[in-house]
């Protein structure tokens, strides 16, 4: 165990402090390190020390030099030699407890849930006393607001070692507003593999699959391969840029449906810690078809993560998506218009959906 100089100096000064427990001793190691505390037990060639300031410390039994009470320590030694300075035990020195195994595999799991429900603001069934049809008028037929329900779920599983990381994420979004019906209905999953090449470089492979019924995306699959560079890597700021290539296959009512589109682009990731509890996260992705340059898109995210406790945090995020091939009529509607005699150019010009979309999300994240 590596013991800082400041802690050891405090421990040495604590000998003269009032109120010190009678069982406290000054335990000196052969390398000069001094610890104020009491020995709890000795087994398996190890000595377990309950240090007053450092907590539990474990050292090799062979590393012990002397053990003396504070009263004995206060008695001047007959020697006239100067007191030697406190020596900090380096990591790996005899008697020091090693740090965490550098080959240890770590796991991280999180689940974020956000939802709401509002009961109907107006009567949605037949309005009593209303003239008209046999059943009377209905609130929904007049466009009056009914019940509203939404849910957003995000999950993540991460397995990391010093040389590689595997991440699996997924999300589901749903919203139903009367009388409009479903206004959000989508889900997606993403698998990422990262392998470290050097302290500043790594390779990345990412597979993404999504479905969005409202945006008329029957399916969208993208396979990305990139070479990452750590431009900034400090305790507070981490900035990565990952140029790469991708293969895209989508079905959303365009002339590119079910074609494999070879694309090039880059990813950019930024993490900035304001303090131990609050951090900013920013992500950006751009891709464009190498041959079919009409196929291109942008996806960006900006969010704040605030830790409420060790296992619970609050997330607020803003996502912006631009897809150059979004917006056409669904194949069913387009076929009906063509059958009715509308010119193909006019049908192609009808783009009821927007190419870009902004989404603001909030949620509670559970880390376990």
Tens-place pLDDT, residues 157-172: 999 998 999 999 999 9
Which pLDDT score is estimated for 327?
64
Task: Give the mean pLDDT of 194-200.
Answer: 94
Among the residue ranges 110-119, 239-248, 354-363, the one predicted with the least confidence is 354-363
Domain 5-74: assigned CATH number: 2.30.30.100
Task: Give the mean pLDDT of 311-340.
Answer: 81
d(Cα 34, Cα 57) in Å, to the nearest integer? 12
Which pLDDT score is estimated for 134?
55
CATH architecture, range 106-367: Beta Barrel (2.40)
Q: In what order do the strands lie in the sheet with 64-68?
A: 55-60, 46-51, 34-43, 25-29, 64-68
pTM of the entire structure? Answer: 0.64
DSSP string, 143-173: T----EEEEEEEEEEEEE-SSEEEEEEEEEE
Helix, strand counts (H, E) of the chain: 4, 17
d(Cα 72, Cα 75) in Å, to the nearest integer? 5
Q: pLDDT band at 1, cuts 50/70/90?
A: very low
Say which residue the tokens 């293969």 belong to: 247
Average per-residue pLDDT for the chain:
79
Task: Give the mean pLDDT of 319-324.
Answer: 91
Fold match between 5-74 and 106-367?
no
Which pLDDT score is estimated for 67?
53
* More confident position, 50 or 154: 154
* More confident position, 137 or 260: 260
Label residue 114 exposed, middle or buried (CB < 10 Å: 0-12, 13-18, 19+). Answer: middle
- 284 Cβ neighbours under 8 A, 6+ residues apart: 267, 268, 298, 299, 300, 301
Q: What are the residue boundaries of the structural domains of the chain, listed by start? A: 5-74, 106-367
What is the helix (H) or strand (E) element at residue 308, kind and residue range? none
Task: Give the mean pLDDT of 183-209.
Answer: 95
Peptide bond preceding 248: is omega within 30 degrees of 0, i.e. cis? no
Tens-place pLDDT, residues 80-90: 433 333 333 33
Using CA atoms, how far residue 114 sits from 45, 150, 188, in Å, is 53, 8, 16
């Amino acid at each position: 165990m590596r013991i800082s100089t400041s802690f050891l100096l405090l421990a040495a000064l604590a000998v003269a402090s009032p109120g010190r427990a009678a069982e406290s001793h000054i335990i000196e190691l052969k390398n000069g390190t001094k610890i104020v505390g009491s020995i709890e037990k000795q087994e398996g060639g190890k000595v377990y020390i309950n240090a007053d300031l450092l907590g539990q410390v474990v050292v090799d039994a062979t590393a012990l030099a002397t053990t003396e009470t504070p009263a004995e320590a206060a008695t001047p030694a007959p020697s006239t030699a100067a007191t030697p300075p406190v020596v900090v035990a380096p990591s790996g020195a005899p008697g020091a407890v090693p740090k965490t195994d550098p080959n240890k595999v770590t796991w991280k799991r999180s689940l974020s849930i956000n939802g709401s429900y509002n009961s109907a603001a107006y009567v949605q069934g037949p309005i009593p006393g209303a003239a008209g049809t046999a059943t009377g008028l209905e609130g929904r037929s007049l466009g009056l607001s009914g019940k509203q329900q939404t849910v957003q779920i995000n999950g993540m599983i991460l397995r990391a070692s010093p040389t590689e990381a595997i991440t699996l994420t997924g999300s589901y979004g749903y919203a139903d507003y009367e009388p409009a019906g479903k206004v959000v209905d989508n889900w997606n999953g993403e698998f990422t593999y990262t392998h470290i090449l050097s302290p500043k470089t790594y390779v990345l492979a990412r597979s993404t699959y999504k479905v969005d019924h409202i945006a008329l995306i029957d399916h969208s699959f993208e396979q990305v391969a990139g070479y990452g560079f750590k431009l900034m890597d400090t305790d507070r700021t981490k900035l990565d840029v990952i140029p790469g290539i991708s293969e895209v296959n989508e079905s959303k009512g365009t002339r590119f449906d079910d074609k494999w589109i070879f694309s090039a682009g880059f990813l950019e990731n930024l993490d900035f810690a304001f303090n131990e509890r609050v951090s900013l996260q920013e992500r950006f992705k751009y891709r464009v078809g190498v041959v079919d340059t009409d196929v291109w898109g942008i996806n960006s995210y900006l969010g704040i993560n605030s830790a409420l406790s060790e296992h619970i945090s609050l997330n607020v995020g803003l996502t912006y998506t631009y897809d150059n091939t979004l917006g056409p009529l669904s194949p069913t509607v387009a076929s009906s218009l063509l059958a009715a005699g509308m010119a193909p150019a006019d049908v192609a010009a009808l783009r009821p959906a927007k190419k870009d979309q902004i989404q603001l999300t909030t949620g509670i994240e559970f880390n376990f």
